[in-house]
Amino acid sequence: MDKRNIIPAAFLLSGILLIILSLIEGEAKIALFFIIPIIYGTGLYLGLGILLIFVSIPLFFFFSGHHRMRDKKEFTRGEQTQKESSYGGVIFIGPIPIIFGKDKTVAKKMMYLGLLIALILAAVYVAVILI
């Protein structure tokens, strides 16, 4: 992970942990609306958790955008090289992962990541139901 993303990642992780704590404490409940998981309730932990997650999203954009602007200013014409970039991602629509990637290796990595996230979400959901 890049050093610039430590602060937004800390906000995101803290928000997730606060939401889990609110579920454990009984301040929040989890339900399914068709296939979409919903967390609802009242309480300080849940409110702070949601707030921290929402604050982390613009922080990720701010810290990564600030870095790109600084790198553009340092770029000179003599250093132009062609780099092949690869990208990929996982989007969850309810419990169903949608995987995309530029090449097969990245798509395969995203498939494994999506499977891991789906298993973790299923385990958390089952654990919350049994509590």
User: Who wins on pLDDT, 117 or 80?
Assistant: 117
Q: 9: burial class by Cβ within 10 Å (0-12, 13-18, 19+)?
A: middle
Per-residue pLDDT, 68? 53
Domain ranges of the chain: 1-78, 87-131
Dump pLDDT digits (tens) for 41-100: 888 999 999 999 999 988 888 887 655 555 555 555 556 667 777 888 888 887 778 888
pLDDT at 92: 84
User: In the prediction, which pLDDT does 86 show?
Assistant: 80
pLDDT at 72: 54
Higher pLDDT, 85 or 26: 26
DSSP string, 61-129: HHHHHHHHHHHHHH--GGG--------EEEEEETTEEEEEESSHHHHHHHHHHHHHHHHHHHHHHHHHH
